[in-house]
Amino acid sequence: MTLLQQGTRDRLRIRRFASRAALGAAAAQDVAAFLRQRLSEQHVVRMVFAAAPSQNEFLAALVAAADIDWSRIHAFHMDEYIGLEADAPQRFSHFLRQKLFDVVQPGEVHLIPSCGDPTAICADYAAKLNAASIDAVCLGIGENGHLAFNDPPVADFSDPFTVKVVQLDNACRQQQVNDGCFATFEAVPTHAVTLTIPALMSGARLFCMVPGASKRAAVRATLEDAISTACPATCLRQHADCTLYTDSDACPEVTFD
C-alpha cells in the first residue's frame, strides 16, 4: 500500500494513496482493525455502509479480512431510490448484498425498501437506526459534495430527521449515469430515501473512501471550502473521528496547514 501523504484538515484525518487499490486495502485494514477492537469490547457492532462504485476496492478487501465475527455485526445502508422494482440491479440494497452482505452474512441486515409509502419507510428505518448508537459509518463523497443523498439543495447540518425523502439534484442524477448505473439521465429516479447528515455524523467512527478523477473537485471543496451545505462533505472536518482515504487521481496533492 503506497501511502503518498497524510495529515489533517481541521479534525479530519487525510490519507492519500497512489491508487484505488492501495486506498481500498488500507481502508479495509483500518475498518477490520476497528471491528476486531470494538467486538472485543461489546457484543454487537452497528454499522452503516455506502453503495457506490467508489467503494468497490474497499469492500473487496474488507470481505477478505480475517478474524471478524460478522454474526455480531448489525448492518444498515445509507440511501435507496424510490420507485425501482424489487429486483432492479441499480438498487443500493442489491449492490451491498452482492458485494458484502451475502458474502460475509452479518447477524442482522436492515435494507431500505424502494417500494411502499416513503413516509412510513423513513419512520421505520429511523426507529431501527435510533434503537442504539451507530459505531461506524463507511461512506463516500458525491461529485457534488453530497453525503448519502444529501445534495447541496437539501442538506441540513441540523436536520431534525434521521431519515427523509429527498429530490435528487441534477448533478447527483448525472453522476449515476457517469458511474454506469443507468443508461440515461431520464432513467435515474428523481427521489430517494436517505439518512440525514446528523444521522451519518452520529457514527462514533467514520471511514470515507473517495477515489478517482471524477471526485477531484469534490475532494478539493471538502478540504478547502468553508464548512457549509454548499459542499455537504465539508462537515466531515468537524467530526471527532473521521478519516478520508483518497488517491492521486482524486487528490493530486494536499497542502496542510
Q: Quick: pLDDT tens for 110-140.
A: 999 888 899 999 999 999 999 999 999 999 9
CA distance 75 to 221: 30
Do 107 and 140 touch, CB atoms closer than 8 A?
no
Considering the entire predicted model, what is its pTM? 0.96
pLDDT at 181: 85
Measure Cα distances from 16 to 22, 109, 208 in Å.
Answer: 9, 31, 12
Q: Look at the block and give the residue holding cell 471524477.
A: 214
> Which amino acid, residue 95?
F
CA distance 50 to 100: 11
Provide the pairing of β-strand 108-110 with 136-139: unpaired
Rounded to the nearest 10 degrees, the angle between the axes of helix 56-63 and helix 20-41 is: 50
Residue in 137, 169, 170 with CA at minimum distance from that of residue 152: 169
pLDDT at 235: 98
Provide the pairing of β-strand 108-110 with 12-17: unpaired
Looking at residue 125, what DSSP letter applies? H
Q: Look at the block and give the residue holding cell 430517494.
A: 192
Helices (H) and strands (E) in the chain, counts: 8, 11
pLDDT at 186: 92
Could you tell me how far CA 62 lies from the centroid of its own chain? 15
pLDDT at 171: 87
Residue 50, SS3 per DSSP = coil
Tally of CA atoms within 13 A in the half-sphere of 163 that contains its CB: 24
> Which amino acid, residue 91?
R
pLDDT at 239: 98
Residue in 92, 81, 109 with CA at minimum distance from that of residue 53: 92
Measure Cα distances from 157 to 47, 82, 149, 199 in Å.
Answer: 21, 23, 13, 10
Residue 230, SS3 per DSSP = coil
pLDDT at 136: 98
Looking at residue 219, what DSSP letter applies? H
Judge residue 164's burial from the number of C-beta atoms within 10 Å of its C-beta, 0-12 exposed, 13-18 middle, 19 or more buried: buried
What are the helix (H) ranges across 85-142?
Answer: 92-96, 102-104, 118-129
pLDDT at 257: 66
Q: Look at the block and give the residue holding cell 436517505.
A: 194
All residue ranges of the chain with pLDDT < 50 are none
pLDDT at 72: 98
pLDDT at 179: 83
